[in-house]
Chain A
Amino acid sequence: MTESATPSRSEALLEVEDLSTHFSIGAGRLRAVDGVSFSLQPGQTMGIVGESGSGKTVLSRTIMRLNLGNNVHTSGRVRFLDKDLLELPMNAMTDIWGQEIAMVFQDPMTSLNPVVKVGRQVSEHVRKHLGASKTEAKNLAVELLRSVRIPEAETAIDRYPHELSGGMRQRVSIAIALACSPKLLFADEPTTALDVTVQHQILNLLGMQQQERSMAMVLVTHDLGVVAGRTDEILVMYAGKIVEKAKTAEIFQTTEHPYTEALLRSIPKTDQPSHTRLAAIAGRPPTLIEISKGCSFSPRCPYAQERCFEEEPVLEETSPDHYTACWYRVGTPENQEAWDKNLAAGRLSTLAIDQGHIVDDVPVNVGSGGN
């Protein structure tokens, strides 16, 4: 998974190559993002999915150059149009932020300034980047708040964030992000803090604005349900690496990576009858500090064989536009064989999926027949 497997296309809006972000912390070097490559076409929507600690937020922040501090080690290349973002001096980034690439954060309460009226927060970018006058900026702020469907936008500009509900605040954050018509929008768990009905509206709003402005979007989330009908392509991350990448329909219909499969099977669905037993994934994600041999999912994987503990699989194209990093892909005869073998040997991670048991600690680097 460390090699770049994405063919570079000349028209790509964003091209990420072998990007790594490591943090030096007391216990060692934490590999939050490790060798990630992908590209994004203009107007496209990409979903990045993974559990907490999979590196999805660090990845988007690295691309935005928001990871500051002298314990951060970044390597690789991030091409945005004709610029290499990682090479740009920091003050050049201020021309990119907001104007070219914008971001919507998870918690709308903490991402807005609590002591500044929302109108000024929305028009701040416009004043700075487009040099708009005060009245122009005010009119634009009203227009923007209207476009994100905030009722009574004329009076709303004079409110403070605490006077608005969570959903309204997130609409304001979206208005701020859209103010200078960026070409690319990062939405980092934009709806995680919101109720389902509000989540639905905000996602629809993002989709509409994206179409109107033909803007590309990266939707970062832990919820496969959120990205299902709303993205063109999905990246599944595990332990700082991409384990599977495919068109959205493809990843749900012909899931290839055991981790993606396990995630999908562990989600309760409303069309299942009550008391359906869920497939639980054994163990916990790796710490990202110790470097382990082999595939990082292998200790928890129901299909893992000798080879998975020894050799790290590379992200390779298994069918057009479908990339998977796995030696025993789901849906192959080898995979079925591995399952049968592990089940017969009573491997804990396999039993956990099969029977929905809790398995807390799975020993690392043991053969498939072990335990």
Chain B
Amino acid sequence: MAGSGKAHLRDREDVLIRAEDLVVEFPVSKDRVVNAVSGISLDVKRGETLGLVGESGCGKSTTAKSLIQLPAPTSGTVTFAGNDLTELAGEDLRRTRTDLQMIFQDPISSLNPRRKIGDVVAEPLRVWGPRESTEQTELVNAMLEAVGIDPQIARGKRPHEFSGGQCQRISIARALVLNPQVIICDEPVSALDVSVQAQILNMLEDLKADYGLTLVFIAHDLAVVKNVSDRVAVMYLGKMCEVSESNSLYATPAHPYTRLLLSSSPVPDPEANIDVTMVEEGDVPSPIDPPSGCRFRSRCEYATERCVQEEPIMRQVAEDHFVACHHPLVSVPEPAEVSA
């Protein structure tokens, strides 16, 4: 994997967000940079949930943040509803960004501990919403109710009076209050217990249907991603490995890295076959000096000379299933067949 290419991008018409050739680099010293994201292209249709998975450091959060220009990517374009966000600045950018909201991993630290819940949720409205305070209060109440929190009780309380799951729901209410089109969820359930995780995942599905949301959902847990996503993109070291409709990705992973992730993820079934022999493996290489060719080659059992020399390009292996690998685990149809 660790490939480039845009074969997996779809027709422009029904796509709400489209990112092309995103590159995000962070300088570390005079002439060295961290290659956090190196040429990622992705698109999300209106009403779709795109799951982004990968190990820590693979650039999934950076990719999602660069979609809302926080920070703006080093190069590449992000088109949202026909506008190129990388071209916007100042008030235009800020106004457009109200349509793209974000929820974060740690629910407690993402709420200001000194402010009351009512004010936390009303904050976006004070900047962009209706001026009337009664209208603002109504909207805040409606949003808190939508996430299953009683506004009469909660509005005057502060974040420490709520559990982690409730705080996460309050952040969701805050994200929803400006009636956005897209919500970017950055590991929203990783810090929560499984029973609370189930509540939040179910709730996101309900809200998505009720408010017609489009979601970009980042997680490292493959089962969680499958549960919420229509389409899943697997990332490794700043590159895209595999993009697929989610059921097909889990049934027939085409990239060796996807298969590695799937075979490593714990299954709550004592009968499941666990490969207990794998104990050693190289670390993920440094993004300051990533491997040439395919970035996954240093950990890949199928790696050949070609993987060192040439970076794999995204190509189609089945309907809505794309992989960037020289030696995919499924047979690749001839280009003619695909286009036919």
**Candidates A195, A207, A269, A271; contact of B56 at CB < 8 Å:** A195
B202 touches A197 (CB 8 A): no
B265 touches A358 (CB 8 A): no
B283 touches A269 (CB 8 A): no
> How many whole Å from A171's CB to the nearest CB in chain B?
9
A204 touches B278 (CB 8 A): yes
Contact with A along B212-232 (1 / 0, CB 8 A): 000000001111101111100
Contact with B along A257-280 (1 / 0, CB 8 A): 000001110111111111111111
Contact with A along B257-270 (1 / 0, CB 8 A): 00011111111111
Complex CA gap A281/B197 in Å reads 10
Complex CA gap A20/B220 in Å reads 36
Q: Does A360 contact B (CB under 8 A)?
A: yes
Q: Does A128 contact B (CB under 8 A)?
A: no
Q: Does A291 contact B (CB under 8 A)?
A: no
Q: Does B334 contact A (CB under 8 A)?
A: no
A195 touches B220 (CB 8 A): yes
In the complex, the number of residue pairs spanning A and B with C-beta atoms less than 8 Å apart equals 154
Q: Give the most central of A51, A229, A263: most B CB within 10 Å.
A: A229
A196 touches B195 (CB 8 A): no
A278 touches B193 (CB 8 A): no
B283 touches A167 (CB 8 A): yes
Q: Does B75 contact A (CB under 8 A)?
A: no
Q: Does B194 contact A (CB under 8 A)?
A: yes
B230 touches A274 (CB 8 A): yes
**A180-238, CB < 8 A from B:** 195-201, 204-205, 207-208, 222-226, 228-230
Q: In which size bucket is the chain B interface? A: 35 or more
> How many whole Å from B111's CB to the nearest CB in chain A?
17
A270 touches B223 (CB 8 A): yes
Contact with B along A67-82 (1 / 0, CB 8 A): 0000000000000000
Measured between beta carbons, the chain B residues less than 8 angstroms from A359 are 148
Q: Give the most central of B195, B227, B270, B271: most A CB within 10 Å.
A: B195
**Candidates B147, B222, B272; contact of A228 at CB < 8 Å:** B272
Complex CA gap A269/B268 in Å reads 8
> How many whole Å from B180's CB to the nearest CB in chain A?
21
Complex CA gap A193/B230 in Å reads 28
Complex CA gap A249/B221 in Å reads 24
Contact with A along B8-51 (1 / 0, CB 8 A): 00000000000000000000000000000000000000000000
Give the top 5 A-B pairs by smallest Cβ distance, nearest first: A225-B266, A200-B264, A266-B198, A278-B198, A149-B280
Residue contacts A-B, CB under 8 angstroms, 30 given: A165-B284, A168-B283, A196-B221, A196-B222, A196-B261, A197-B55, A198-B55, A205-B279, A207-B276, A225-B268, A229-B269, A229-B274, A252-B269, A263-B195, A266-B195, A267-B194, A267-B223, A268-B198, A270-B250, A271-B250, A274-B246, A277-B202, A278-B198, A278-B202, A280-B195, A280-B198, A280-B199, A284-B165, A356-B198, A356-B202
